[in-house]
Structure 1
Amino acid sequence: MQPRTPLFRARRSLAAVVVALPLVLAGCSTAAVPAGPAAAPPSAPAVGHVHGIFVDPATAKIFLATHDGLYDATTKTPAKVSDTIDLMGFTPAATPKVFYASGHPGAGSSLPNPVGLIRSTDAGKTWQEVSRGRQSDFHALTTTGGGLVAFDGQLRTSSDGITWQTSTAAFAPAVLAGSPASTVVLATTQDGVQRSTDGGKNWKPVPGSPIIQFAAFATSAEKAPTEAVGVAPDGTVHVSTDAGLTWRASGKVTGQVEAVTAQEGGAGTPRIWAATTSGVQVSTDGGATFAPAAS
């Protein structure tokens, strides 16, 4: 196991601050959370701490980027896909089976420490260094229509994954949410959602946004996504239908959430997957109810 970096401790501090504000969270909702049936108990955990989640729209496979590497968690018994790499940052690209990630290598790996930006072209089985090896441990990472946006203590953007520009933004994001089909990017912070419309170069706070820790765009194969989902530290789910400009509360996830992803569903009701410490849960009604994802 590689030692954690000061950035990791800083990010954990950010999460701790947000978690410690349940009363603030209660006042940030733009609508009351509707009552609904209790979620079924999620499946038992079989992997370590989850840093990212992705559901392949072509195969419906559920990928979990964890402290111990990449797992296929489509069934109740997750299968390890990659060698042991502490995948702190993780994001799919527009091309099928292409993933980007960051973090620390496992024992025996030839990757640098930290790995900087690495890429897989075989759905996570093998990884190659792209840039910033021994320089960057990106704890937040996402793809956009303009390239990549990442955070390693500084917010950075890149059009090709090799050359990076440093943003003047002063906030520290817990999560960055983007889509290869759009230049809109969302960043979750302890002061609310920040939003960029130019691939992460310039940012503005979203007025009246809820305090959410995890966020994702509801991806669509046909167009730039307009639906986004966010999960507050207490598990409250928020949904946006205008790419993060306004939000409404829809339900709640049971358990401690570690990562979220989403795909476009019916109007205003995206499909949401939440990786929790108790297993992966899925909602097919825009976050109103959740059930175990693995059958």
Structure 2
Amino acid sequence: MPLQSLARHRRTAAVVTAAALLLALSACASGSATSTSASVPATASSGLPSSHVHGLSVNAETGQILLATHEGLFDISTNTAVKIGATNDLMGFTPTMEEGVFYASGHPGQGSSLPSPLGLIKTTDGGRTWDQLSRQGESDFHALTMTKSGIVGHDGTMRTSADGKNWKTVPVGFAPAVLAGNPYSETVLATTREGVQRSVDGGNTWTLNSAAPLIQFAAFASATDAVGIAPDGAVYISPDAGATWKNTGRIEGGAQALAASEGSEGSPWIWAATPDGLVVSTDGGATFRPADAA
């Protein structure tokens, strides 16, 4: 199925969130910057425009698929990756409930006029231009997500913000690799070396879920359905926003980024950027295939 036709097979038209940073377990005044879009050949090794993918977003209504990478933001909805906007290393990236509206953080790249680090930046035109909201020159949010009440980010310190400009510091004893939230819920998941930390109040308080598997990447398919991928590629789904988890399959070759959306009969659709390209599962992680063959 062509990627543009994904919307006809979804029950929901919500923009899907995707938390997608490389795991620390194993790895490692307003202004705007503008640039024209350009087509970029996909890399021969993986079919993706960059070997460093930090974020993945899928719009279930339009079928648009975006990659936030070391080399900038790319639309990979078709076989040709299209670069959007200036070259910024988008370490943190999260969509919102509004089409074309995203928050990001990271570092400016060649040709970008934004400060370093980026702080929190926002686009309302799908990534073509970015407005500087707060903490420019101060914060590089490697982990970033949206909740019903606002933004949760980690730049070495956990912070929450209702408006993207004023921040509250949240003392925590862990460093999240990934923050996964949903604009329709207050629940946030944080993947850590110790396990999955869970917040049910928009990131203000946290509890370690000692019964959860060790998860490397996490994403919400809806306000309650969550997906996780372990370091060994095992795929887990949770029907209760990360409280309990069930192993449903395995993804080969490892993942760099993860996204999910509602599916039929309780099985979410799962997208993953892998070293071999973008893959998708339509059966809750039991099987994966190249996304352009979906």
| TM-score between both structures, scaled by the size of structure 1 | 0.84
Partner residue in 2 for 1:5: none
Question: Aligned equivalents of 2:47 and 2:103: distance in 1?
Answer: 28
CA pair 240-12 structure 1, distance change in 2 beyond 3 A: closer
Give the structure 1 partner of residue 258 of structure 2.
260
After the TM superposition, which residues 142-157 of structure 1 pair with which residues of structure 2 at under 5 Å, given as runs? 142-157=145-160
Identity %: 55
> Which residues of structure 1 form unaligned runs of 5+?
1-10, 19-41, 220-224
Is contact 1:48-1:68 (8 Å) kept? no
Alignment equivalent of 2:245, drawn from 219, 236, 247: 247
Name the residue aligned to 1:185: 188
Q: Deviations over 1:131-165 (max 9, x none)?
A: 00000000000000010000000111001000001
Tell me the matched-pair count: 257
Inter-partner Cα distance in structure 2 for 1:249 and 1:69:
33
Q: Which amino acid aligns with 2:85?
A: S
Relative distance call for 1:246 and 1:102 in structure 2 (3 A) is: same
Q: Give the C-alpha shift of residue 207 in structure 1.
A: 2.8
Inter-CA distance 99–262: structure 2 relative to 1 (3 Å threshold):
same
Kindly indicate whether the alpha-carbon contact (under 8 Å) linking 2:22 and 2:54 is maintained by their aligned counterparts in 1. Answer: no
2:153 and 2:257 map into 1 onto residues whose CA distance is 16
Q: Is the 8 A contact 2:49 2:74 kept in 1?
A: no
Secondary structure of 1:294's counterpart equals helix
Structure 1 contact 61–73 (Cα < 8 Å) conserved: yes
Find the aligned partners of 2:264 and 2:61 in 1 and give their Cα distance.
Answer: 18
The AA in structure 2 aligned to 1:281 is V
Q: Which runs of 5 or more residues in structure 2 are unaligned?
A: 1-20, 29-44
Distance 2:173 2:125 in 1: 36
Give the partner amino acid of 1:187.
Answer: A
User: 1:45 Cα shift?
Assistant: 3.1
Task: Give CA deviations for 1:83-131 in whole Å, capped at 9, x if unaligned.
Answer: 1100000000111110000001112322110000000001111111110
Pick the aligned partner of 2:269 from 260, 268, 271. 271
Equivalents in 1 of 2:90, 2:23: separation in Å? 19
Partner residue of 1:234? 232
Query: What is the letter of the counterpart of residue 261 of structure 1?
Result: A
Q: Distance in 2 between matches of 1:109 and 1:14?
A: 27
2:93 aligned counterpart, secondary structure = strand
- What secondary structure sits across from 2:221 in the alignment? strand
Paired residue for 2:90, among 87, 92, 96? Answer: 87
Q: What is the SS of the residue equivalent to 2:67? A: strand
1:65 equivalent in alignment to 2:63: no
Any idea what the Cα deviations from partners look like across 1:205-260, whole Å, max 9, x if unmatched? Answer: 113100001000003xxxxx211000011111000001100001111112220110
CA distance in 2, matches of 1:211, 1:218: 19
